[in-house]
Chain A
Amino acid sequence: MTPKISFRDVRKTFDIAGRTAFTALEGLNLDIEDGEFITVVGPSGCGKSTAMNIAAGLTAPSSGQVLIDDTPVSGPGPERGVIFQQYALFPWLTVRQNVEFGLKIAGHKRDERRRIADHFIALVGLTDFANSLPKTLSGGMKQRCAIARAYAVNPKILLMDEPFGALDALTRVQLQDQLLTMWSKERRTVVFITHDVDEAVYLASRVVVMAARPGRLHKIVNVDLPYPRTEDMRLSSEFSELRNEVWRAVYHPAAAA
C-alpha cells in the first residue's frame, strides 16, 4: 500500500548571500499511512513546523519532496487541511461564516454550505455560537471553530501545528479527547505537532521525535495502546513507560541514540 504522505529526503536550508546560514531540516524521510494519527514532538528549532509547512505547500523545500498519494506537493490544496496554533480565524466573520469560507471557495450552493457547516459546528459543540464573532469566544472555542473549518472542506489529511499550545492544561485535555472522538467519527490522516510529550503519546499511534541543530528525525516510538484512548490509559503504567521513552528521546537525544 502506498503511504498517504511520504517525505522523501526533504531538506530545508535558509541561505544568506548564497551560503547556508541555518539548516532547518536535514534529509527527512518519513512515510505516514492512510488514516494514521501521527504526532511530531521535539525541541524548538527541530524543524517540525518547517516539515509541516512543506507538506501543507506553504513552504518550498530546498531539496527533496513530499508526496501525497504519490503526487508531489506543489502548493496548498483543500485535500490538506491546516490548523494553526494562532487559530487564524477571520475575525470579521461569524463562526458559521468562518466554517463556510472554504465551502464558498469550493463553489458549494448556499443550502449545502449551511448544512455541511452546521454538521461540523455541531460536532465540535459550537451550535449555540454559530452566529457569534470570534472575539466573543474563548481560546478553546476558537480552536474548535478552526477544526470545524478545516474539516468542512473534507480534507483527506489534517496538518495541525501545535493547535493546543496556547490553551490551559484543562482545556487542552478536553480538546484532545474531542479531537480523538472526532477522528474516530470522521477518519482522516492526522499529523499533529506538539511540544507536549504527554499530548504526543496520548493522541498518536506513532510519535515522531525530532532533534535540533540541524533539524532531523531522531526516533519513532510506536504507541501500542488501543483507541479509543481513555483517562485510565493516560494514568496507566504502559502510558508512563511510553511517555518516559519519548521524554528521554526529546530531552537527551545524544544519550538515547
Chain B
Amino acid sequence: MESENTSDKARGIPLPTGPLAMLGINIVAVVFGISMWALVTSYGVVGLPTPLAVARQAVIQAQSGLLWSDAIASLGRVFTGFALGILVAIPVGFLMGWYKVARAIIEPYVQFFRTIPPLAIIPLAIVTMGIDETPKIFVIFLASFLSSVVATYQGVISVDRTMINAARVLGANDFTIFRRVIVPASLPYIMVGVRIGLGSSWSTVVAAELIAAQSGLGFRMQQAQLYYDLATIFVSLISIGILGLIMDRIVMAIDSVLTAWQEKL
C-alpha cells in the first residue's frame, strides 16, 4: 500500500528541470510558435493576418475601449453564471452524496442533462427567456452546475470510510462528521469541479455570444466575420485564450492554498 516515492533522478536525464528552466522553455516555445506564424503569413501562404497586424488591431481596439468593454461583458456573464452554478452545485452535490434518497431523486436529472451539451439549450433558452442576459447566464449556470455537482458528489462518496470511522470512535455524531470530515475531505474534488466548471462556462459564454448578443468577445468575432475582418477575429480569439488561462491559473492558485495538506505525487 505504501510505496517509496520513485525518484526522478533514476531516469538519469541531464536536462535542466528547475521551475525557472521550465519557464524559459515555455517562453522559447511560445516565441518559436509566433515566429512560425509570422514566417508563414509573411509569405502569404495561408491568407491569415500577420502577428504585427493582429497586434496593431489589438492596440486600436484597446485604445477605443472596445476590447475592454467586450472582455468585461463576457467576464461578467461568466462570473454571474459560474458563481450561481457553484453556489447551487455544492449543496446539491453534498445532498446527493450524503443522503441516498436525495441521490435517487436528483441523479437521473443530473445524468440526463449532463449528456446534453449546454449549447444545445441555447435555442430553448432564447425562446423561453428572451434575448437579454438571462438566457446566456442560464446556460452558463447550467454548464458550471452540471460539472461541479458531479465532482462534489464524487468527493463525498469517495471519502475514506476509515477516516469516518476514526471520527466516529472519537465521539463524532453525523453532523460533526459532515462538517469536520466530509467537507474538508471532499474539497480537492470540489476544486476539480470548480476548475472544469469554469472552463466549460468560458467556452459556453463565447458560443452563446456568437449566437445572440450585442456585446462581448464572441459578439465582436461574429461582427468581424461579416466584414471579413480577420485581424479582429484573431484579437478576440487570443483575448479569449489569455483570459481563460488567467482564470484557470487563479483557480489553481486558490486550490493549491486550500488543499496544501494533500499528499501529492
Contacts and interface: CB of A to CB of B under 8 A. Distances in A.
Interface of A: 56-58, 76-78, 80-82, 84, 86, 88-93, 101-102, 105-106, 133-135, 139, 146, 149-150, 153, 166
Contacts, number: 70
A82 B166 contact: yes
A105 B170 contact: yes
A106 B1 CA distance: 33
Contacts of B163: 88, 90
A133 B261 contact: yes
Nearest to A166: B2
Contact of A101 (B167, B261, B263): B167
Given A78-B169, A78-B170, A102-B170, 12 more contacts: A57-B169, A58-B169, A82-B169, A84-B166, A86-B160, A90-B167, A92-B185, A92-B187, A93-B261, A105-B176, A133-B261, A153-B171
A84 B162 contact: yes
Per DSSP, chain A at the interface is: loop
A171 to B, nearest CB: 12
A91 B262 contact: yes
Given A90-B184, A135-B262, A105 B169 contact: no
A136 to B, nearest CB: 9
A46 to B, nearest CB: 20
A134 B262 CA distance: 9
7 contacts: A76-B165, A80-B169, A86-B1, A102-B171, A105-B171, A149-B170, A153-B170
Interface in B38-68: none
B180 interface: yes
B168 interface: yes
B247 interface: no
A149 to B, nearest CB: 7
B138 to A, nearest CB: 35
Nearest to B162: A88
Contacts of A81: 169
Given A58-B165, A88-B163, A139-B2, A77 B261 contact: no
Contacts of B176: 105
